[in-house]
């Protein structure tokens, strides 16, 4: 690079906090959490749309604190995230289910115990 400048690599990971002065990501996270709460006892879907790098994953990451509070075991809502870009399309379903099983097992509320995790994982690998 000219003038001895070094290249700077940017990681594609969600920010841990809202770095914008107007706190746009934080406002979006609160709105997302509010929308989820409104749909809590109803069927529905929420879409979060934006270009690559616009902060969708950051908003979801920030919204988790509104669902989890201080004790994730007693939270009313539990957030599972799945990064589509990390997986090849032909194994998408398997990758999603493997990650969901791992999340359910590792969650403080223990949605799956050790035996259920092993059984579920084995079933995934043996069924077509």
pLDDT in tens, the chain (128 residues): 566 666 665 566 778 888 888 889 999 999 999 998 888 888 888 888 888 888 898 999 899 888 765 566 667 778 888 777 666 666 788 888 899 999 999 999 889 999 999 999 998 888 65
> For residues 91 and 128, what is the distance between their CA atoms, to the nearest angstrom?
12
- CA-closest candidate to residue 103, choices 126, 120, 86: 120
List the structure tokens of 86.
């990390």
What is the SS3 assignment for 41?
A: coil
Query: To which residue do tokens 């079933």 refer?
Result: 123
Task: Note whether 72 and 78 are within 8 A (CB).
Answer: yes
């Amino acid at each position: 690079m000219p003038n001895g400048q070094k290249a700077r690599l940017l990681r594609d990971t969600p920010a841990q906090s809202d770095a914008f002065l107007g706190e746009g990501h934080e406002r979006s996270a609160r709105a997302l959490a509010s929308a989820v709460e409104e749909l809590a006892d109803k069927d529905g879907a929420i879409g979060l749309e934006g270009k690559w790098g616009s902060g969708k994953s950051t908003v979801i990451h920030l919204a988790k604190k509104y669902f989890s509070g201080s004790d994730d075991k007693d939270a009313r809502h539990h957030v599972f995230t799945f990064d589509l870009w990390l997986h090849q399309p032909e194994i998408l379903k398997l990758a999603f289910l493997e990650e969901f099983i791992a999340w359910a097992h590792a969650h403080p509320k223990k949605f799956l115990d050790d035996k259920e995790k092993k059984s579920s994982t084995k079933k995934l690998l043996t069924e077509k």
